[in-house]
Each structure stands twice: as C-alpha cells, then as structure tokens.
Structure 1
Amino acid sequence: MSISTPRRLGGLDHYPIGLGCMGMSDFYGPADAATSVATIHAALDAGVTYFDTGDFYGSGHNEMLLGRALADHRDRAFVAVKFGALRDPAGGFVGFDARPASIRNFLAMTLKRLGTDHVDLYMPARIPADVPIEDVAGTVGDLIRAGWVRHFGLSEASGASIARAHAVTPVAALQIEYGLLSRSIEANGVLDACRAHGIPITAYGVLGRGLIGGSRPNGPGDYRAHSPRFEAANLARNTALAEALAAAAARFGATPAQAAIAWVAARGDDILPLIGARRPDRLAEALGTLALDLPADAIPAFEAAVPDGAVAGTRYDADHMASLDSERSAAA
C-alpha cells in the first residue's frame, strides 16, 4: 500500500493526512492566531480535507479560530469535533458530561462558534462512566437525523464500547493515539474491533507529542511539563529512541517526523494520521511525507529504531490512564 493512498471516511476520500488544530489554542504553550489561520489555509491549498477540533480546546477558542479560517472554505473541509470535557475559568478540567441534553447544548454552541450549520463528525472525547454509550450513540443519531451532524464517531474507546455504540448508530471513525511510541491498540483488541466493523481510525499523537520531532515543553502552559514521557529519566530514554529514528530516517532522505508519519500511514489505508502542525513550515514538512519515494525496507527500519514497547513512561498520567476506556481489553 502506498502511504499516499486516500483514506475513505464518512463516505468521502480524504487527503492521506489530516490537520489536528488543538495546539493552536491549548496545551502546547502560546500560539499566534494569524500563523494558525495561515497554517489552516496552507493545508486547504495543499488538498487537506480533514480538520480536527474539540469544543473544550481553549474553552471554545479553537472552534472560533477554525470557524474564522474556514469562513469562505467550509465546503472544502470535513470538520470533526469532540465534546464532553468540562473546563473551569482557569482552564482546569472539572469533569466529563455526555448526558443527552448536554450533548445537544454542546452542539448548539459548537455550531455558533464554527459558524456552520452542521458538523461532519461528532464524537465524545472520552467514553463516559456514568452514561451508557448507547444513550450517547442514540443522541448523536438523533442529531444526524435532524441534519446538524453528518456522522457519529468515538474517541479512546475499547472494542466492547465500539461494538455497543455501533449497534445503535453506525460509528464512522475512531480517534485514538497511535504511532511508533503508542501501539497499544494492536494488542488490546481496539484495532481488530475497528476492522471487524469496517471503522477507520484517525490517529493522533503520531509524533509522540513532539518527542520524535525534537519539540520539548514550552513554559508552564505546556501540559507536557507534567507528562510521564517528558520526565527527566524517561526523557533521556525517549530522546535516544528519537535519535535512533532520526538516523534511520536520514538513510532514506526523510526527517524523523516524516518517518513517524510514514509508519502510521503504512499501517493501512483505514488509518488517517493527524498532525498537529501550528506553522506552515511544520505543515509542509509533514505533508512532504507523501512525496517520499520510500523503498520496501524503509518502514521496517523505522520500526526497528523504535521497537514496540521501548518508550519510557505512559502516554498520560496514572489517573488519566486509569480512566481510558481504550486501555481496557476488547472483551471488558
């Protein structure tokens, strides 16, 4: 399979890389709004079709930013929105709400902020512990029938939750962390469950939140300062992995980021890598992956540089990991 093969999702063939917009508003330190808009426009000009946001990214800021950037281009963009995470005025997380009335309220605000009459893919950011996933799926199904949503998606769901939700409203995509540094979906049944139901995956964390590309925490507003993989002892081990990948990538005329993107893209044409570029030059580097003429031994070389399970530290802290439905077995 060519890494440049279009990805089929929501009844459309998509450009093989999608743009995740989260970092333009939150979690990675300050970002310049004009540069962010320029990056979104550059993505559109390059042919990117899939744009990912969340109503809680910057407490609505990200949706407003994306809405402004897409104001004259809405028909060229497939917009995916995650909902449910609750924030306080200081930006802290204070819970998760996926009750049917709340979902309708969240969507009303999302449509206003995006300046659109529909969302292409709507998904809970996490699987709620206190609301049956069938109720979430049914509510989004109602919104689809009303015309405000085109497709239902899930994020960080286990195989069991995927099956339960899909039985109520067809799941058009699963968003989950997947990359050289995070491969749990291959072992815990999530990847198999998606393929059994014909559900494509949108993969985030492809660059290990910057570990592979050499990015490091950028001040107190950067959540990576508290991430296990960026703790001193773990960071030394993970930096060594990134350096090994850089050496392997250089053999094939690629950057480390391009090697990581290519690895994910090569896992199947049912997987759409999301990249969180915040500047046009970073976007150009990522999209340049598709122009690489990689020989058959390139992908195995990238994988050998970063063996499965070699990363030090979990992808989230202990409390967050314990809450992830996706980290449970498919039979749970």
Structure 2
Amino acid sequence: MANLPKIALGAWAWGNDGTFGNNLTAESLKPIFDTAMENELNLWDTAYAYGMGTSEKVLAGFLEGLPRESYLISDKFTPQCADASSASAMKDMIEMQLGLMDLDRFDVYWIHNVSGAPKWTEELAKYFEGKDNVPLLGVSNHNLSEIKQANEILKAHGLKLSAVQNHYSLINRSSEDSGILDYCKENDITFFSYMVLEQGALSGKYDTKHPMPEGSARAEIYNPVLDKLEILNEELKKLADKYGVGMAQIPVAWAIAKETLPIIGVTKENQVLDAVKAANITLTDEEVSSIEKVADSLELNVIRFWEKEMK
C-alpha cells in the first residue's frame, strides 16, 4: 500500500453526535476535504460508531469518483456496534461498512477498544486470513499486554499487527512509559497518536482567563488545571514563535518527532492548513526534551474514562 502521510485526519466530529456541540453538514465539510487532498493529507480516520455511519457516509460522498489510489481509509470494528450473538458479526460489520462507503477494501482496519477484544481479534484474523489486499490491522485503546496478545492471535493466522492507536500527548505519555512505543518500533508497528492537543488544552486557545465552556466533559478535566497548563503553553509559544507557526502546531510536531502518526480531528479548513504546517516542522532533540521536562514537572493526570493505565 502507499506510504502513510505524517498526519491522519480524523472524521469523528463528522458523525454529528453532539460531542462538539455543532451541526456539521457535508456542504461545510467538503472544502475541508478538498484542502486536505490538495495538500497530500489523504489518510482519513473514521468509524461506524461516529454517528452510526454518518461520518462514513459523508466521507464516502467526497471520495466518489476519485482514483482509489489517491486516498487511504482507516475504519474500525467497534464491539459495541456489533451483534455479539451472531457468528458472522465481524464479516457483517466489515461488509456493511464497505457498502456504506462504496469501497472494495480498507487501508487500515482496527479493533476499536478492548471490549471482548481477544474474541474479536480472532474473528478479524479469520476474516482476513488468506485474503488479498489485507489492510494494516490495528488495535486501539489497548495496553501493552493486550497489544502483545493481539499480535500473537494475528500471527497464528499468518497475519501481523501493523498499527496501534492510543491517546498520547505531552501530558499523557503512558503509552511511552509503559513500553508500548518501544514495542511498536521493535515490531514494525505504526503508532497512531490521538488527542495530541488534549481537545484544545494544548492549543493556546484556553487559559485561566479563558476557560473551556462549562458543562463539557473536557472542561471538567482541563479547567481545574489551566494554571499548570499555562506554564507548558508558555514554553510551546516560544517554539511556535521560533518556527513562525501557531502554538497548536508544536504538540503535533512533537508527536511526529516521537515517531508517531498523529490523528487530528478537522472541522475547519484552517485546521488542515495548521496540520500541513505541523508536518513541516522538525523539532530538535533538545527542544523535544525541553518541553517534555516542563510537561512532566506538572504531574498531570488526564487519563480519560475510556482509558486505563497502559502497562
């Protein structure tokens, strides 16, 4: 398959499930898609769970008529969306999603979370065993022992684990501390990092004078620690000024410097253009170490309700 770009673009919000409190339309999202493709950011991350097929259908509309080799699609098997009582649940989900998107294959396909994961990884392996055009097979929100288990299950069917996707940022390096990043490097597994901006907390948009909107889940997590985040954001601003970019580009550039592939959710064209800028920044080892030292000194815990310790 084609080489992966430095950044994947996430279509989570395209599912219009209310997470971001806005009502996005295909008409408003099309320029975002076009801008990304023009800038060679052609890896799109979606899931049936994002609006029960809404995100997939919107994305499919934009792909219509484009050469298949011009884009890459990352989709997911979400256990909570499958009929666990059906012997063909995996096959049914994959083929339903392919139908929704009018595709003959995915480029990356994930087990979305750890609910019944060994069973579903086994079913995934059985489905793709011996097939042509096997996508990169990945697991999301798994800890190190669960990742190793998934890899063993796939190997027993002549396949391999090729991708891992976890929450990873300057203030949540549990996937690094637990040895997951090292395991991925040793086993030729691409690590996809999501929430590298901590839902805007590391974007420079929020501080003690400008907190996140009350009542949102992210406000509950980040508003109480905005005083600490201001310390980190000061350091990020210094680097942003040095490289002539916005502050939000530095945590993304950091994730790339750590040899991960960040997934950036996009609902505005400027977010795509920001991602392009971030992909063109190469932080030095000293700069990476410096901002990590500040981040670590804050001793923040931003592990979310769907996560756990990664060891």
Match of 2:300 among 309, 312, 315: 312
Q: Separation in 2 of the partners of 1:159 and 1:293?
A: 28
Deviation at 1:29, TM superposition (A): 2.0
Match of 1:80 among 74, 77, 85: 74
1:205 aligns with 2:189: no
> In the alignment, which residue of structure 2 is the partner of 1:103?
90
1:141 aligns with 2:125: yes
Q: Separation in 1 of the partners of 2:192 and 2:65?
A: 25
Structure 1 296/160 Cα, relative in aligned 2: closer, same or farther at 3 Å? closer
Q: Separation in 2 of the partners of 1:242 and 1:201?
A: 25
- The total of aligned residue pairs comes to 296
Q: Separation in 2 of the partners of 1:155 and 1:98?
A: 23
Q: Separation in 1 of the partners of 2:143 and 2:43?
A: 23
> In the alignment, which residue of structure 2 is the partner of 1:115?
102
> For each residue in 1:179-234, what CA deviation from the matched residue of structure 2 results, as whole angstroms up to 9, or x when unmatched?
212211111122222223221111111111111112675687x6434xx423x322
Deviation at 1:21, TM superposition (A): 1.2
Give 5+ residue unaligned stretches, structure 2: 155-159
> For each residue in 1:253-292, what CA deviation from the matched residue of structure 2 results, as whole angstroms up to 9, or x when unmatched?
2321111111111112xx2121112111111012112334
Match of 1:42 among 35, 44, 47: 35
Structure 1 21/34 Cα, relative in aligned 2: closer, same or farther at 3 Å? same
Q: Separation in 2 of the partners of 1:43 and 1:280?
A: 8
Q: Which has the higher strand share?
A: 1
Is the contact between residue 90 and residue 127 of structure 2 (CA under 8 Å) also seen in structure 1? Answer: no
Q: Separation in 1 of the partners of 2:197 and 2:229?
A: 12
> In the alignment, which residue of structure 1 is the partner of 2:179?
189
Amino acid at match of 1:279: K
Structure 1 139/285 Cα, relative in aligned 2: closer, same or farther at 3 Å? same
Match of 1:159 among 113, 123, 144: 144
Moved over 4 A (4+): 95-100, 146-149, 215-220, 293-297
Identity %: 23
Give 5+ residue unaligned stretches, structure 1: 1-10, 88-94
Q: What does 1:232-271 align with in structure 2 at a 5 Å threshold?
A: 232-268=223-259, 271=260
1:299 aligns with 2:284: no
Is the contact between residue 211 and residue 239 of structure 1 (CA under 8 Å) also seen in structure 2? Answer: no
TM-score, normalising length from structure 2? 0.83
CA RMSD of aligned residues (A): 2.8
Q: Separation in 2 of the partners of 1:186 and 1:96?
A: 34
Q: Separation in 2 of the partners of 1:256 and 1:205?
A: 15
Structure 1 254/117 Cα, relative in aligned 2: closer, same or farther at 3 Å? same
Amino acid at match of 2:277: G
Is the contact between residue 17 and residue 273 of structure 1 (CA under 8 Å) also seen in structure 2? Answer: yes
Match of 1:126 among 113, 119, 127: 113
Structure 1 224/185 Cα, relative in aligned 2: closer, same or farther at 3 Å? same
Amino acid at match of 1:21: A
> In the alignment, which residue of structure 2 is the partner of 1:285?
274
Amino acid at match of 1:156: N
Is the contact between residue 171 and residue 301 of structure 2 (CA under 8 Å) also seen in structure 1? Answer: no
TM-score, normalising length from structure 1? 0.79
Q: Separation in 2 of the partners of 1:164 and 1:201?
A: 16
Amino acid at match of 2:76: K
> In the alignment, which residue of structure 2 is the partner of 1:273?
262
Give secondary structure in 1 for the equivalent of 2:248. helix
> For each residue in 1:238-260, what CA deviation from the matched residue of structure 2 results, as whole angstroms up to 9, or x when unmatched?
34433442234223323211111
Greater relative CO (CA pairs within 8 A, separation 6+): 1
Q: Separation in 2 of the partners of 1:97 and 1:36?
A: 34
Structure 1 298/240 Cα, relative in aligned 2: closer, same or farther at 3 Å? closer
